[in-house]
Amino acid sequence: MCFTRYTMVILFGPLIFSSTVDALNILFLVGKFPYANQMYIINQITGLIDRGHTVTVLSQKRTTEEYCDALTPYAHALRVHYNQLPHDQKNFDVLLCQMADLGEWLLRLKADGLTGKTVIFCRGWDVSSVLMQDPHRYDTLFRQTDLWLPVCDYFRRRLISLGYASDKITVLGSSVDCAQFKRKLHTTKQHEALRLVTVARMVPQKGIDDALPALSYLFKQYHNIEYIFIGGGILKSKLQERARRLGVEPFVQFVGQQTHDQIVDWLQDADIYIQPSKTSALQAQEGIPNALKEAMAMELPVVSTYHAGIPELIEQGVSGLLVQEKNARAISEAITYLIEHKKERVDLGRAARKKVMQLYDIDLINDQLDALLISLCKE
């Protein structure tokens, strides 16, 4: 959901600059763009432009998405290229590589003349399953880059355990615009059922195949609940078939991918959020899912798992409920507790929003990124 048809370079919205002495020329390296599922990248782009920096995006692929509200105000502030940069645009202050597995592409570009201080973001499977298969996959990349930014301390510790130097690694979480994900007071629910919601890609590490049997336990006891699953992916047909075999199909809606604004509306009308993340058979892991942060910012009580960086966000029994990975019965029991304890749902939801605002609000994270980049360029 971002843009109209593309030429090789696209310019967006009115330039919005805040005054700053340390204006940088920054290149974002991404796998595909625009991509609404990666609002955390769009948040970085708009935040750095707002802080006075010049931003260019170089993407490996175009997407079919045509519009993005968040980028609309930034006409003439953002240049987007696909596959390669113009020959006269190779010199930048900072290169932001948005996934570590894009590193080989980055090194080829640098060999072809691309220059700038180099920052690598580590977001999930790129430092979980990839490094499980080849612990030395990024050795050359690490030597030729300046700063690595894992999204959680869990991944920072993993990198250090594999021999990566700690002085080049700093945790920087992905941001959430908490002003957008804010519960409206005194709204009338659009449904009578108690609504459970998950927003995720249909991939193994999201753990949706554990949520469905958990629901089969619940539906035997409660008949006035429903489960809304938002997202698409490679496991869609398998999950739909699993729902049918478990007998929960009448209570489950697979609504597919939704726009950012639609997701806000779904969360606004939800009662409980479920994030059953797990380590996949290929050892793929999440960092801290942004959809989980968005639900918590909406003051939803959440049920999630002791997975990767999630316990860094959720304090058990204070800002959410955590259970062990791959345990459908435990997920069911946690949801049952929330169903039976309405006051606790409210208290957990309020604490959840407070935690997200303290750690991951968009202005806080963008200020941290801004300071890191300016400091890096002064070295």
Is residue 150 domain-shared with residue 31, that is, in the same domain? Answer: yes
Cα 147 to Cα 150, 308, 346: the distances in Å are 10, 21, 40
Is 93:377 a contact under the CB 8 Å cutoff? yes
CATH code, domain with 285: 3.40.50.2000
Is residue 15 domain-shared with residue 133, that is, in the same domain? Answer: yes
Is 31:83 a contact under the CB 8 Å cutoff? no
Is residue 159 domain-shared with residue 246, that is, in the same domain? Answer: no
Is residue 352 domain-shared with residue 239, that is, in the same domain? Answer: yes
Segments of the chain with pLDDT less than 70: 1-21, 66-67, 75, 186-191
Quote the distance between the C-alpha of residue 89 and its chain's center.
30
Is residue 334 domain-shared with residue 371, that is, in the same domain? Answer: no
Is 222 part of any domain? yes
Is 189 part of any domain? no
pLDDT of amino acid 62 = 86
Is 245 part of any domain? yes
pLDDT of amino acid 12 = 37
Is 183 part of any domain? no
pLDDT of amino acid 35 = 83
pLDDT of amino acid 21 = 47
Q: How many domains does the chain have?
A: 2
76's tokens = 């003439």
For 99, list phi and psi in degrees, rounded to 5.
-145, 140
Is residue 366 domain-shared with residue 338, that is, in the same domain? Answer: no
Is 185 part of any domain? no
Is 301 part of any domain? yes
Is residue 252 domain-shared with residue 145, that is, in the same domain? Answer: no
Is 300 part of any domain? yes
241's tokens = 């078939």
Is residue 143 domain-shared with residue 27, that is, in the same domain? Answer: yes
Is residue 304 domain-shared with residue 316, that is, in the same domain? Answer: yes
Is residue 120 domain-shared with residue 101, that is, in the same domain? Answer: yes
- Over the stretch 51-85, which tens digit does the pLDDT of each residue have? 999 999 999 998 877 667 788 898 689 999 999 99
Is residue 257 domain-shared with residue 280, that is, in the same domain? Answer: yes
pLDDT of amino acid 161 = 96
Its domain, for residue 212, covers: 194-359
pLDDT of amino acid 7 = 31
Is residue 130 domain-shared with residue 28, that is, in the same domain? Answer: yes
For 244, list phi and psi in degrees, rounded to 5.
-65, -45
pLDDT of amino acid 69 = 79
Is 272:241 a contact under the CB 8 Å cutoff? no
Is 236 part of any domain? yes
